[in-house]
Amino acid sequence: MSNSLDDVWGSDSDDDGSVVQESPDFKKLRDIHFKRGYVDGISGSKEAKLQEGFDTAFPLGSRLGMEVGRLIGILQFLDFKYGKDDEELHGDFQLAQKELKIDRVLIKSMFDSDLNLMGEHQVISKWRRIVKVHCNKYAASISSTIGN
């Protein structure tokens, strides 16, 4: 046989010297199957890698998301209770809502090639400190929920 695909697409003849003419329809069908197989292979690979990436990164992403939610929630509570009289607190709450958006927290530069956080998350650490200051200012009992 002349190539590795002859056993699938070639004739049943064992005579290697015979020349088989492919009909245009047969050639088109073969090309369609080649393309479909290629696309299916690529798609399957992407789906497998996507799932693997999701499985690897989801736990960290969810922890960061929970921390962001906690910080925003504490600031929202403090702003609701004291923000009318405290411009700094009100401004910090508004700024935190911008700086703690998901596209600013889960930025590529904060993670290594294995999707592990490289050191301390700078944006979240900044807002932990700011929230702690506001909690201490108003002696809020919730300050223990924000960690160090």
Which residue type is seen at 42? I
Which of 21-25, 49-53, 122-126 is predicted with the least confidence, judged by mean pLDDT?
Answer: 49-53
pLDDT at res. 34: 73
pLDDT at res. 94: 97
pLDDT at res. 144: 52
Task: Using DSSP, state whether 128 is helix, strand or coil.
Answer: helix
pLDDT exceeds 60 at position 43 = yes
Which of 12-16, 98-102, 109-113, 131-135 is predicted with the least confidence, judged by mean pLDDT?
Answer: 12-16
pLDDT exceeds 50 at position 13 = yes
Residue 49 banded pLDDT, cuts 50, 70, 90: low
Q: For residues 127 and 100, is the Cβ–Cβ distance under 8 A?
A: yes
Other beta carbons within 10 Å of 89? 21
Does 45 or 59 have the greater pLDDT score? Answer: 59
